[in-house]
Structure 1
Amino acid sequence: MAWTTPTDEQQKKIPIPTAIALAIGVLLWLGSYLGLVGVLVPQQVAEIAPDQKTSAIALMSTVAMIVSTIANIVEGALSDRTRSRWGRRTPWIIAGSIGSCLCILAWAHCTEVWHVVLADSVYMIFLNMIVAPLIAVIADRTAPKYRGTMSGVYALGTCIGQYGGQAFASLFLPVPDTGFIVMAVMVLFSGPVAALFLREKSTKDMPVEKITMQTFSDNFAFPTKGARDFYLAMIGKMCIITSSFAISGYQLYILTDYIKLSGGKLQGYVTMISMIMMATAIVMCFFAGPVSDKIGRRKLPVIIAGILITIGSLVPMFTSQAFIMLVYAVVVGIGMGMFNSVDQALNIEVLPDPKTAAKDLGLLNIANNGGQVFGPIFASIVINAVGYHAVFPLAAGLAVLGIVLVSFIKKVK
């Protein structure tokens, strides 16, 4: 039996079950995660430490990034080496779903900032048991000619989870305890549903290299050979994700402290922004990935996406009227939809070694984790030093830096 990635000749059509597993799996874990950290946890922290809420969120994000980065790399590498009757990825995805669910249920009862930091850190360990193996499925089971489309499918789940999760979670702002329970149930189902569609074959007979210094380095260390484009993609992606989360990570506080919204109007705008960004991003998911496959280019769509994110991020700097956040949502939603649709295909095509796909994609996921953490940290610094209006040019500058780095990639068009 062969366990290699299918070639263009071997795979005559898009693997639909794999596509469904990716879309639903990421939708459920990401929707739950961002519903928590984007809506429910900021409200929880504001109640626990109202005068230190921005600093508390920055602390939580920093610790979570460190834990998440280590967990993603280690768990991705262990997934690559897992041999079981259920395959390499499924055991990790199922265990991660159960552990993440239990962490969220405990998180709801936090009464101190350090409780929140601890809950988030343990949660990150379990969540990355889902994240690293699930994303490796694209490299495992998709021929090169369909990777743009499959990246778009993954992005579709990402977009619905990212924006729909926050909009859905905002419905529970008046009843946060119920919100935590709902988020826990969502992540609990992410693994089993993905596994149901993946139906991984047994890997008990799949060859596994003995652990030597060389194999340990290959499976657990950062790649060093032929990895220039890999690192350009990683850092460029981190800049663009950081740009996005510099604003979205403080969206609730931007609306309350910069736009001056409160009560029902605040809840309405949180929902509208999330729904607009979700709708625009979903539209791009259906077009950007397949178009990227058709024209055989990955860098160009990513660069165009970065330009849109730059423009959209600058818009709220010019006025604090509420409508401007809706304009921001449209432009950045289109940009992030295009970026997410093609980015995974770009990442897979710069991998130094397909045999360590989960580990190397886990390393690339440092860009996601780092962006989600550095965004709020950088935003906290400029907000405390200058004010909320300064976060918008910060986000734009980071997006421009990401564009420049991606443009230097040579291996991929």
Structure 2
Amino acid sequence: MSPNPPREDNARAGANPASEAILAEPVADAGSDEVPGSPQGRSFLFFFVLAWFGLSLATGTIGGAAIPKVFAFLDDDTKGLNLSITAAIGGIVVMVITPLFGRFSDRTMSALGKRRPWILGGALAGTVGVVVLAFSGSVWMVVLGWIIVQCGFGAANAAVHALLADQIPKRIRARVAAVASASAGLALIVGASLIAALPNGAQWSWFIVPGALGALFSALLFFGLRDIVRTERPAPWKWSDVVATYWLDPVRYRDFFWAWSCRLLVTMSIVSVSTYLLFFIIDHLGVPAEEASGVQAITLIIFTVGNIIMTILFGWISDRTGRRKAIVWASCVLSAAGLLVAIAAPDITMFMVGILIVGAAQGAYVSVDIALMTEVLPTFEEAGKDLGIVALSYQLPQLLVPVVAVPLLAIGGGENYTALYVAAIVFAVLGGLSVLPIKSVR
């Protein structure tokens, strides 16, 4: 397949120029089974999922395992505060850049296409941040490297997510999203296992290995995608467009607002658990820091096994039945139940049982979440921008959770992870309730 697709008028690749007037009409709306992109080769879905996996491996491993491990060895007494500062700053950065890069992607007029330049360029920029992290020796060097990683891989991630609206028909979207989400769960296992297996004295490898894999898999999608090439010049950029990049009217687009709120709250629940998982294992379960990465890897394996099984199962069920809301609501309740088990666990075994329940619940949730979000988009024409706003719902928790965690962890003298997990339960329940008012999706 040629990496240089034929030019189009912001519609379908391979279109006949004689039909330009027809193609200038609005593209398919988000509720239909049509997509604006061109037919893809057989390898496209494989490369799409592989890139999704690679970007999740890079950002998830670095943010969830490598950086916490650096702080645990750098200064054990301040590791929680250092991680909160780093996660909060990184969260602010990624919130700003993701919708903006998504909108720039929508407007891109390159012979390479709308998404491909951002996929490759973002991966290369992210790799620069990985190198900074690999040789960082202070908190602020870690913060700088994490900012660059978030900007680079965040740009690539925004473009990859936009392909769900550009290239994936509604009839298979839940299944494709389920497999992609399952790959992200698998990335957690692979990433945690990598960090546990790599030498404690080789900090550079904790970052270079997952970062290089993320960049490589993104490059494969770059070469395997037949992208939309925009030839119709977009309207001139105005300052009001900057505000619109981060905003959709919640009154006019109520279903989008409720779906967005649901994802925000559910993500806050899971981020509350995942961000501080290593420290919970060390401080709450009493595992030595030298052994904690191994226990974390086993915990994530258990989480991901339940996650993948339920993701694939409920993705199939959702596409067969056309139902999304009931699955979301039930998964949120199950996640809250699993967190209760984890909090009350007297030992590592029962804690892992609770995490297995949470993983299964999250699998059921993510199997339909992305499909639901694409079905409440206003249009596909600005899918990059709108999915950038969607991305805020799982990036904002990277900022909010560390801010909320600081006073919660301080309750009772410090390191109060029970209070943090209770907050995670509340977030899960509120997320389940938020999906109920949605009208346009069953």
Q: Partner of 1:197 in structure 2?
A: 224
Once the two structures are TM-superposed, the CA of residue 282 in structure 1 deviates from its matched residue by 1.3
Q: Identify which of 98, 108, 113 aligns with 1:82.
A: 108
Assess if the C-alpha contact under 8 Å between 1:30 and 1:161 holds in 2: yes
Assess if the C-alpha contact under 8 Å between 2:90 and 2:143 holds in 1: yes
Letter in 1 for 2:68: P
Letter in 2 for 1:90: R
Once the two structures are TM-superposed, the CA of residue 209 in structure 1 deviates from its matched residue by 2.7
Q: 2:239 & 2:204 partners in 1: Cα distance? A: 49
Assess if the C-alpha contact under 8 Å between 2:134 and 2:205 holds in 1: no
Q: Partner of 1:136 in structure 2?
A: 162
Q: Partner of 1:410 in structure 2?
A: 439
CA deviation vs aligned residue, 1:48-92 (integer Å, no higher than 9, x gap): 333221111111111111110110011000000112221110100
* Structure 1, unpaired ranges of 5+: none
Choose 192-201 or 229-238, whichever is displaced more: 192-201
TM-score (norm 1): 0.92
Q: 1:334 & 1:188 partners in 2: Cα distance? A: 29
Assess if the C-alpha contact under 8 Å between 1:146 and 1:293 holds in 2: yes
Q: Partner of 1:302 in structure 2?
A: 328
* Structure 2, unpaired ranges of 5+: 1-7, 13-26
Percentage identity across paired residues of the two chains: 24
Within a 5 Å distance, the mapping from 1:337-376 to structure 2 comes to 337-376=363-402
Q: Identify which of 19, 22, 28 aligns with 2:45.
A: 19
Q: 1:299 & 1:316 partners in 2: Cα distance? A: 26
Q: Partner of 2:21 in structure 1?
A: none
Q: Partner of 1:94 in structure 2?
A: 120
Q: 1:143 & 1:321 partners in 2: Cα distance? A: 46
CA deviation vs aligned residue, 1:92-116 (integer Å, no higher than 9, x gap): 0000111111211111222221221
Letter in 1 for 2:390: L
Assess if the C-alpha contact under 8 Å between 2:50 and 2:217 holds in 1: yes
Q: 2:72 & 2:289 partners in 1: Cα distance? A: 15
1:407 is paired with a residue whose SS is coil
Q: Partner of 1:178 in structure 2?
A: 205
Q: Partner of 1:227 in structure 2?
A: 253
Q: Partner of 2:5 in structure 1?
A: none
Assess if the C-alpha contact under 8 Å between 1:19 and 1:154 holds in 2: no
Letter in 2 for 1:37: G
Q: Partner of 2:20 in structure 1?
A: none
Q: Partner of 2:297 in structure 1?
A: 271
CA gap of 1:14–1:159, structure 2 versus 1, over 3 A, is: farther
Choose 212-221 or 173-182, whichever is displaced more: 212-221
CA deviation vs aligned residue, 1:18-73 (integer Å, no higher than 9, x gap): 42232111111111211111111112122333322111111111111111011001
Q: 1:50 & 1:24 partners in 2: Cα distance? A: 36
Assess if the C-alpha contact under 8 Å between 1:77 and 1:219 holds in 2: no
Q: 2:134 & 2:208 partners in 1: Cα distance? A: 8
CA gap of 1:398–1:204, structure 2 versus 1, over 3 A, is: closer
Assess if the C-alpha contact under 8 Å between 1:383 and 1:390 holds in 2: yes
1:327 equivalent to 2:353? Answer yes
1:51 is paired with a residue whose SS is helix
CA gap of 1:223–1:261, structure 2 versus 1, over 3 A, is: same
Q: Partner of 1:211 in structure 2?
A: 236
Q: 2:42 & 2:425 partners in 1: Cα distance? A: 37
Q: Partner of 2:341 in structure 1?
A: 315
Assess if the C-alpha contact under 8 Å between 1:22 and 1:194 holds in 2: yes
Once the two structures are TM-superposed, the CA of residue 242 in structure 1 deviates from its matched residue by 0.9
Letter in 2 for 1:378: V
TM-score (norm 2): 0.87
Once the two structures are TM-superposed, the CA of residue 265 in structure 1 deviates from its matched residue by 4.7
2:400 is paired with a residue whose SS is helix
Q: Identify which of 64, 84, 88 aligns with 1:58.
A: 84
Q: 2:421 & 2:95 partners in 1: Cα distance? A: 27
Letter in 1 for 2:375: E
Q: 1:288 & 1:280 partners in 2: Cα distance? A: 12
Assess if the C-alpha contact under 8 Å between 1:5 and 1:142 holds in 2: no
Choose 380-389 or 177-186, whichever is displaced more: 380-389
Q: Which has the higher helix share?
A: 1
Q: Identify which of 46, 55, 60 aligns with 1:34.
A: 60
Q: 1:32 & 1:14 partners in 2: Cα distance? A: 26
Assess if the C-alpha contact under 8 Å between 2:128 and 2:148 holds in 1: no
Once the two structures are TM-superposed, the CA of residue 144 in structure 1 deviates from its matched residue by 1.8
Q: 1:281 & 1:356 partners in 2: Cα distance? A: 31
1:401 equivalent to 2:430? Answer yes
CA gap of 1:404–1:198, structure 2 versus 1, over 3 A, is: same
Q: 1:259 & 1:39 partners in 2: Cα distance? A: 18
Q: Partner of 1:283 in structure 2?
A: 309
Q: Identify which of 255, 258, 275 aligns with 2:284.
A: 258
2:381 is paired with a residue whose SS is helix
Within a 5 Å distance, the mapping from 1:40-51 to structure 2 comes to 40-51=66-77
Q: 1:310 & 1:244 partners in 2: Cα distance? A: 10
Q: Partner of 1:389 in structure 2?
A: 418
CA deviation vs aligned residue, 1:253-311 (integer Å, no higher than 9, x gap): 11110000126653432121111112111112222112111111111111111111111
Q: 1:298 & 1:16 partners in 2: Cα distance? A: 28
Please tell me the root mean square deviation across aligned C-alpha atoms, in Å. Answer: 2.4
CA gap of 1:221–1:185, structure 2 versus 1, over 3 A, is: closer
Once the two structures are TM-superposed, the CA of residue 383 in structure 1 deviates from its matched residue by 1.7
Once the two structures are TM-superposed, the CA of residue 189 in structure 1 deviates from its matched residue by 0.8
Within a 5 Å distance, the mapping from 1:112-191 to structure 2 comes to 112-172=138-198, 174=200, 175-191=202-218
